Amino acid sequence: MDFFEHQAKANRSSKYLIVGYTLALIVLTIGFNLGGLLVWAIATEPAELAKASESHSYSTILHHWLDTRYSWQVTVSVVLFVGMVSLANWLTLRQGGSKVAEMMGGRRIPANTMNRDERRLLNVVEEMALASGLPVPEVFIMDREHAINAFAAGYSPNEAAICVTRGLTISLNRDELQGVIGHEFSHILNGDMRLNVKMMSILSGLVAMGQLGRWLVDLGLRGGHDARGGIVFLALPGVLIWILGSLGVLCSRIIKAALSRQREFMADASAVQFTRQTQGIASALYKIHTHHHQSILTTRHAENLSHMCIAKTLSLRFSTWLDTHPPIEERITRLDAQFLTKAKIQRAQERQQTLQTSDAPAESSGSTSSSVTLSTATSPALSEVTSGLAADTRASADLYGIELQQEEMIEFTSPFQQANVDQAIASIGLSDQQSITAARSCLSSIPNELITGLHQPDYASLLLLLILAQNNSRPESATALLIEQESYPQSLIDHYLPMVHEMKERPVYPLLQLGLASLKSLSAEDKKALLVTAKKVIMSDKQILPQELFFYLVLFRHLNPKASRNPRVEFSSFSHLKPELSTLFGFLSQFTEEAHQLAAYQHAVQQFQIKETSLPNIKTISHQALANAIFRVEHLAPLLKRSVLMAVTDLMQHDDTMTHQELDWLRMLGDCWDCPIPMALGK
């Protein structure tokens, strides 16, 4: 199953969610009607109720209840309450993954943080984002949570956020951290994240009824301690609402378990592919299993969040069939059948060593340890932790702690071998060892000062404009335009310009990814000003190149508040998009070798039964027409979007080669369509 099939499956699961929600609402409404019937019968018709109990026939009293206005009042009240809570949460959560993280008590980690644990976390997130082709997600930390847990939230990769607990950052080594982040990236790539947020918003209404009852009970009991009696009368109806509302909680847990459990196995497997080894995610899960707090959260939103995290957030006393996650032991065994056995042996050896040490005379106060977690000294599987941490402490000399062998370095200025189109498309939404190596090679080739500047919002805007200017056909005049704007000190421009110029022949999308992560914190006015200036830089030479067009559209999509954050599927066929596809293919074919331009264009349009086979004049294609064509393709159904990307990939390598610049164009185009393309496409 490839990326596009995962997206289509997630869309189908959304339909199952609506069906499950509707059935659960019906069950909850019936439950409250039965509760209302019982209260009404006791209060108004006790004799009729006693008679019905003796004869075991409740049809008469049920008909009486349905004839009263109370039955409809109960039904309407339940439906309205549940619906309004679900709608309110949906309106809040649709604003982006950052809203979900903030609701859970998360604090945004700034891109320029110097905290050691937070810097290490951001480094891992950035490295994986560059490798996979995803926009760098915002990263949040729940400072008050000491358990080990994490989740990804958002409706699309464009506005995704990753939130981790404080316990995770201090308990896991770098390999384990990579495993957890790889797991969360899988949820982003496979569409699970969007489905999870939908579940959180929709099912919150079902859960809220039970929470309302519990709140009334607490309020009533607290009032009962008041000398005046307080509001103790609220406790009795609160108990009834709490008990009946538990039906909603039960239904929501069943729906979550049905839709979430298998996705966790898939995400674990994807984490292995991301990190190149099994031990990282397996060891992280084992630490969760043996940690004092495990993965249990203290936030009042733990119930709503239960299906989104890497491990369960609640300690349920019911049967495990209600758990949103498979047992951790089973997850570890699927990753490595021998891991738990080795871990138990190692823990036994450590306990024995501790006992022997405690019996012997202590040579120093630090000679013993009570830790029962896996030791890097005795476990080859976890032996890389020391080097990983050491790399992060050398951040001042080498920001990412990347040490590559000479044979792993990639020359980004030379073309690479032709990628088979089918293999190329199959690699979309995936990341492997080659992509991770390519990302590390790319990061190691960027001056540390440039990366540090991209982590600062004010400097990042200037750097991205300078990068855009250097990709202009007249870089000197484009740079002069920036100086004339007087928005940035000329001394700062002169300082960064040589570094940016050195990057001219290298991919620009990774730099754009790093810069956008910090630009999200700019004010709306600053974002608008940046887009206006970027457009002026592009048009300074009266023409538009692919790298300029795609660079600007990615900027626009991430920074313009009116840009689509969660594009709807509006087209289930190509019939309404043929003019747009013709425009896009016509533009791109102009940048292949001249001898192949017409053949490349005709081959592309014939796949979509477009009758226009004469190559369009590039001078007649406007910037607005191109932008409109690209953004309309974004609204295609996932499996149809795959066909367009296959055609674009085939067009770019029609001359039997694809340069790293062309791959860079393709990756930026993939960003515009929420189709993350890895660095080592089809290699």
| Residues carrying an active site annotation | 184
> Which residues are CB-neighbours of 411 under 8 A, at least 6 positions away?
none
445: number of CA atoms within 13 Å, CB side?
A: 23
Packed helices 59-67 and 3-44: angle between N→C axes, nearest 10 degrees: 100
Neighbours of 256 (CB within 10 A): 25
Amino acid letter, 653: Q
Token digits for 486? 């007087």
CA angle, residues 362, 363, 364, in degrees to nearest 5 = 95
Length of the chain: 683
What secondary structure letter does DSSP report for 297?
A: -
Amino acid letter, 496: Y
Contact, 513 vs 131, CB < 8 A?
A: no
Contact, 60 vs 52, CB < 8 A?
A: yes
> β-pairing, 138-142 with 161-165?
parallel
CA angle, residues 458, 665, 466, in degrees to nearest 5 = 30
d(CA 223, CA 232): 5
Torsion angle of the four alpha carbons 580, 583, 584, 586, in this order, in degrees rounded to the nearest 10: 150
Contact, 128 vs 285, CB < 8 A?
A: no
At residue 309, φ and ψ (nearest 5 deg) are -85, 170
Using DSSP's 3-state secondary structure scheme, residue 496 falls into: helix
Residue with tokens 């957030």: 313
Contact, 208 vs 296, CB < 8 A?
A: no
Contact, 682 vs 672, CB < 8 A?
A: no
Using DSSP's 3-state secondary structure scheme, residue 35 falls into: helix
> What proportions of the chain, in percent to the nearest 5, are helix, strand and coil?
65, 5, 30
> β-pairing, 107-108 with 161-165?
unpaired
CA angle, residues 449, 450, 456, in degrees to nearest 5 = 90
SS (H, E, C) 143-170: CCCCCCCEEEECCCHHHCEEEEEHHHHH
d(CA 626, CA 639): 22
Token digits for 155? 């409706």
Token digits for 407? 């044979």
Contact, 40 vs 70, CB < 8 A?
A: yes
Burial 314-344, CB ≥16 within 10 A → b, else e: beeeeeeebbbbbebeebbeebbeebbeebe
Strand order in the sheet with 107-108: 107-108, 138-142, 161-165, 150-153
